[in-house]
Structure 1
Amino acid sequence: MDRQIPTHCTTREWTTFSLAVVNKAVNLTEGFPYISVCGNAPPQSCIFSQVLNFGAASAAWICILRYYQLRDWGVRKWPNQVILWTGLLCALGTSIVGNFQEKNQRSTHLTGAFLAFFVGILYFWLQLFLSWRMKNLPQPGAPWIGPLRLVLCSACFVLEVAMVVLHSWSMRSVSAICEWVVAMLLFILFGLFAVDFSRLDGCTLCLQPGSGSLRPPPDSPTSLHVQL
Structure 2
Amino acid sequence: MYLCFKILNKFILQINKRGFFLCGVRGLNMWSCSPWALLPPIYSAFTAVGLWVVYFVAVSDEKIAPLGSKHKRRNGSFYPPYISIAGNSPPASCIFSEVLNFAAFVGFIIGVLRYLQLKHRLDKQWLNVCSLVAFSLGCFGMTLVGNFQLFTEEMVHNFGTSLTFGLGTLFCWLQSYITLRVNLKNEGRNAAIIRFLLSASITICMILYSSLMAQGLHMQAAQGQWALVMFFLAFIGTFGFEFRHNRFEIMCTDHTPLSEASRYEPDQL
* TM-score, length basis structure 2: 0.73
Corresponding position: 1:157 with 2:189: no
CA 1:139–1:92 in 2, change beyond 3 Å: closer, same or farther?
farther
8 Å Cα contact 2:135-2:171 kept in structure 1: yes
Q: CA deviation at 1:111?
A: 0.7
Residue type at the aligned position of 1:145: A
Q: Which runs of 5+ in 2 are unaligned?
A: 1-38, 73-78, 262-269
8 Å Cα contact 1:163-1:176 kept in structure 2: yes
Corresponding position: 1:79 with 2:127: yes
Give the Cα–Cα distance (whole angstroms) in 2 for the partners of residues 34 and 158 of structure 1.
Answer: 17
Q: CA deviation at 1:141?
A: 4.7
Give the Cα–Cα distance (whole angstroms) in 1 for the partners of residues 51 and 120 of structure 2.
Answer: 35
Q: CA deviation at 1:8?
A: 0.6
Task: Determine the structure 1 residue equivalent to 2:223.
Answer: 177
After TM superposition, list the pairs within 5 Å mapping 1:61-80 onto structure 2. 61-80=109-128
Identity %: 27
Residue type at the aligned position of 2:167: V
CA 1:219–1:109 in 2, change beyond 3 Å: closer, same or farther?
farther
* Count of matched residue pairs: 213
8 Å Cα contact 1:33-1:173 kept in structure 2: yes
Q: CA deviation at 1:32?
A: 4.1
Residue type at the aligned position of 2:172: F
Q: CA deviation at 1:176?
A: 0.5
Give the Cα–Cα distance (whole angstroms) in 1 for the partners of residues 86 and 226 of structure 2.
Answer: 11
* TM-score, length basis structure 1: 0.85
Give the Cα–Cα distance (whole angstroms) in 2 for the partners of residues 119 and 75 of structure 1.
Answer: 23
Corresponding position: 1:6 with 2:41: no
Task: Determine the structure 2 residue equivalent to 1:21.
Answer: 59
Task: Determine the structure 2 residue equivalent to 1:148.
Answer: 194
Task: Determine the structure 2 residue equivalent to 1:52.
Answer: 100
Partner of residue 110 from structure 1, selected from 136, 155, 158: 158
Considering only CA atoms, is the larger Rg found in Structure 1 or Structure 2?
A: 2
Question: Aligned-residue CA RMSD in angstroms?
Answer: 2.3
Give the Cα–Cα distance (whole angstroms) in 2 for the partners of residues 7 and 121 of structure 1.
Answer: 19
Give the Cα–Cα distance (whole angstroms) in 2 for the partners of residues 207 and 191 of structure 1.
Answer: 33
Give the Cα–Cα distance (whole angstroms) in 2 for the partners of residues 156 and 70 of structure 1.
Answer: 24
Give the Cα–Cα distance (whole angstroms) in 2 for the partners of residues 184 and 159 of structure 1.
Answer: 10
Give the Cα–Cα distance (whole angstroms) in 2 for the partners of residues 202 and 112 of structure 1.
Answer: 30
Q: Which runs of 5+ in 1 are unaligned?
A: 210-214, 221-228
Residue type at the aligned position of 2:51: E
- Per-residue CA shift, 1:112-147, capped at 9, x if unaligned? 111111110100101122334xx4541565853221
CA 1:93–1:218 in 2, change beyond 3 Å: closer, same or farther?
farther
Structure 2 counterpart SS, 1:155: helix
Corresponding position: 1:168 with 2:214: yes
Q: CA deviation at 1:12?
A: 1.0
CA 1:14–1:140 in 2, change beyond 3 Å: closer, same or farther?
farther
Task: Determine the structure 2 residue equivalent to 1:224.
Answer: none
Partner of residue 198 from structure 1, selected from 228, 231, 244: 244
Q: CA deviation at 1:73?
A: 1.5
Give the Cα–Cα distance (whole angstroms) in 1 for the partners of residues 260 and 220 of structure 2.
Answer: 62
